[in-house]
Structure 1
Amino acid sequence: MRVARFYAPGDLRLEDAEEPKAGPEEVKIRVRNCSTCGTDVKIFNHGHHHLVPPRVIGHEIAGEIVGVGADVSGWSPGERVQVIAAVPCGTCQECTTGHRTVCPNQTSVGYHYDGGFAEYLVVPRAVLAVDGLNRVPDNVGFAEASVAEPLACVLNGQELARVGEGDDVVVVGAGPIGCLHVRLARARGARRVFLVELNRARLDMASALVAPDAAICGAETDAVEQVLALTGGRGVDVVITAAASGAAQEDGLRMAARAGRISLFGGLPKDRPTITLDANLVHYRELTVVGANGSSPDHNKRALELIASGRVPVTDLITHRLPLAELPDAIELVASGRAIKVTIEP
């Protein structure tokens, strides 16, 4: 079979490999779609401290079961499935008290286990142990099902920020995650959703798809001033920084209304992880600042339900569908910002 294997930053090789076999506590799937994201770009350029090469990467995975281990029950060949990326241990204090997204023993598909940029994938026992293999609803295609993983992360972030009925929401960043945030905020009852982005072309492309109530190009205007003008000087109830930008996080506090919530959704570069936070704004306005780290197996299940119900459409966000042989082109597309969602069909 063909796989895309990471060896070192800048060294991603398309290779022939022996088709894997499922062990007694594993499930083997034929990968039908593995979508790409900004994390794949980071891995390609810089590697990752949890990834020991060589490793088949790719973590937004959907496919069909072609083999079931002797000790696995409840699964059959032919079933259409989606695989979680972040794998909690299920037994630590964080996991047993409902905080699986911050499990200190978390492992990840595409990092600790071979990922989905391959024709076949063995779903490890650790995934099955935490109910991390999900049946794909009949009305959802494989490509759409692969988007459940990033949508699950978005769902976690919005639950932590308590996005709800009647909220005014700002999403900073018009990539695929930002687009999903716009659509999920609407599905959760937000009154208005504004989209902020520095890159005019990317903003226009995203806005044409998700139709925010206002599209603000931060390179052409002061985004904070625009948000305050749109809200009569009050600010918004929720700010979601879906961009790896310290400046966006600092501006987010200035956009927030009294008692507002700010989600630091996008992580910052490891060499620039700090911001200047005006603690008096947090103190006197009673702001809530929250982080968001990945998703739990339950978030993945509910993300699939949101896609299947049509509450969060994703088909039109998939702007490019490429074969595995064109994965380097897919990574370049994601890095350039010329695409929204790029999916690979091995």
Structure 2
Amino acid sequence: MKVVRFHAPGDVRIEDAPEPTAGPTDVKIRVRACSTCGTDVKISRFGHHHIAPPRVMGHEIAGEITEVGGDVTDWRPGDRVQVIAAIPCGTCAECRRGRMTVCPNQVSMGYHFDGGFAEYMVVPHNVLAVDGLNRIPEGLTFAEASVAEPLACVLNGQNLAGVGEGDDVVVVGSGPIGCLHVRLARARGAARVFLVDLNRERLDLAANLVQPDTAICGADTDVVDAVLKLTEGRGADVVITATAAGAAQEQAVQMTARQGRISFFGGLPKDKPVISLDSNLVHYRELTIVGANGSSPEHNKEALRLIADGSVPVADLITHRLPLDRALDAFGIVARGEAIKVTIEP
């Protein structure tokens, strides 16, 4: 079978590999869709400290079960499934407290285990042990189901930031994560959603799909001033920085309303993780700043439900569908910002 394998930074190959076999506590799936994200591009260029090469990449996975281990009782060949990416241990102090997104023993598909840029893959028992294999609802395509993983992360972020009815929400970053944030904020009853990006072409592409109340191009205007004017000087109730930019985090503090919430959703580069923070704005405005790190198995289940019932449509966000042998082209499309979501269909 064909796989997309990471060997070293700058060395990702499409190559032949033997078809895997499920162990007694595993299941094997025929991968039908594995969507790409910016993390895949970063891994291909710079590697990752959790990846011991060679490793099959891909973590936004949906497929069809073809084989179940002898000790597996709840699944059958032919079942359509979505696979979590981040796998908590389920037994540590954080997991027992329901904080699975910050499990210190977390492992991940495409990092510690071979991922979904392959014709076939094994879903390890670690996933099954935390109920991380989800049935795809009837009527949902494999490609749509693969987007449940990033939506699950978005769901976690908005839960932590308390996005809800009547909020004015600013989303900084118009990539696939930013688009999902706009759609989910709408589904949660936000009054207005403003989308911000420095790249006019990418912003226009996203805005045409998700239709924010206002699209603000940071290359053309002062973002903080624009948000303050749109909110009659109040600022936004919630600001979500869905971009790896320290400047966006600094601006977020300046354009958040009193008792507003800020989600530092996008992590910063490892060599530049420190920002300048006006602590007095946080203090006097009673602001809340929260991080957001991945998702839990329950977030994945809810994300699938939100997609299936139409609350958060994702089909139109999949702007490119490519075969496995064009996966490297997909990384280039993502890196250049020419797409919203690129899905590989092996």
Give the aligned partner of residue 326 of structure 1.
Answer: 326
Map 1:127-276 onto structure 2 (within 5 A).
127-276=127-276
SS in structure 2 of the partner of residue 284 of structure 1: helix
AA at the equivalent of 1:184 = L
For the residues of structure 2 that align with 1:147 and 1:192, how far apart are their CA atoms? Answer: 24
1:215-242 Cα offsets, whole Å, 9 max, x none, are 0000000000000000000000000000
Distance 1:220 1:98 in 2: 44
Partners of 2:272 and 2:41 in 1: CA distance: 18
Find the residue that maps to 2:49 and give its secondary structure. Answer: coil
Partners of 2:69 and 2:249 lie apart in 1 by 47
**1:14 match: secondary structure:** strand
Aligned to 2:50, what secondary structure does the other structure show?
A: coil
Q: What aligned pairs does 1:1-346 form with structure 2 within 5 A after superposition? A: 1-346=1-346
Q: What code does the residue aligned with 2:142 have? A: F
In the alignment, the residues of structure 2 paired with residue 273 and residue 41 of structure 1 have an alpha-carbon distance, to the nearest angstrom, of 20
The whole-number CA distance in structure 1 between the counterparts of 2:328 and 2:27 is 28
The alpha-carbon deviation at position 98 of structure 1 amounts to: 0.9
Unpaired segments ≥5 residues, structure 1: none
CA distance in 2, matches of 1:52, 1:273: 25
Give the counterpart letter for 1:146 in structure 2.
S
Q: Matches of 2:50 and 2:306 in 1, distance apart?
A: 30
Task: Measure the CA separation in 2 of the matches of 1:330 and 1:72.
Answer: 35
Cα RMSD for the two superposed structures: 0.3
Instruction: Report the Cα distance in structure 2 between the residues aligned to 1:73 and 1:172, rounded to whole angstroms.
Output: 45
Query: How far did 1:139 drift?
Result: 1.2
> Number of residues paired by the alignment?
346
In structure 2, what residue type is equivalent to 1:271? D
* TM value normalised by structure 1: 1.00
Q: Secondary structure at the residue paired with 2:15?
A: strand
- Specify the code of the residue in structure 2 equivalent to 1:213: D
Amino acid of the structure 2 residue aligned with 1:289:
I
Structure 1 residue 186: Cα displacement: 0.3
Q: What's the TM-score once normalised by structure 2's chain length? A: 1.00
Q: Which amino acid aligns with 1:203?
A: L
- Distance across 2 between alignment mates of 1:261 and 1:236: 9
- Residue 330 of structure 1 aligns with an amino acid whose one-letter code is A
- Look up the equivalent residue of 1:126 and give its one-letter code: N
Distance in 1, matches of 2:262 and 2:335, equals 26
| 1:246-284 deviations in Å (ceiling 9; x for gaps) | 000000001100000000000000000010111000000
Q: Which runs of 4+ in 1 moved over 6 A?
A: none
> Matched residues in 2 for 1:243 and 1:296: separation?
21
Whole-Å separation in 1 of the counterparts to 2:156 and 2:51:
24
- 1:261 is paired with a residue whose SS is strand
Describe the SS at the equivalent of 1:67.
strand
Query: Which deviations, in whole Å up to 9, do the C-alpha atoms of 1:141-173 show, x marking residues without a partner?
Result: 000000000000000000000000000000000
Q: Any idea what SS the aligned residue of 2:159 has? A: helix
Distance 2:12 2:26 in 1: 27
Post-superposition Cα deviations, 1:313-337, rounded to whole Å, max 9, x if no partner, equal: 0000000000011011100000100
CA distance in 2, matches of 1:114, 1:97: 29
CA distance in 2, matches of 1:299, 1:274: 29
Q: Distance in 1 between matches of 2:124 and 2:171?
A: 35
Give the counterpart letter for 2:203 in structure 1: L
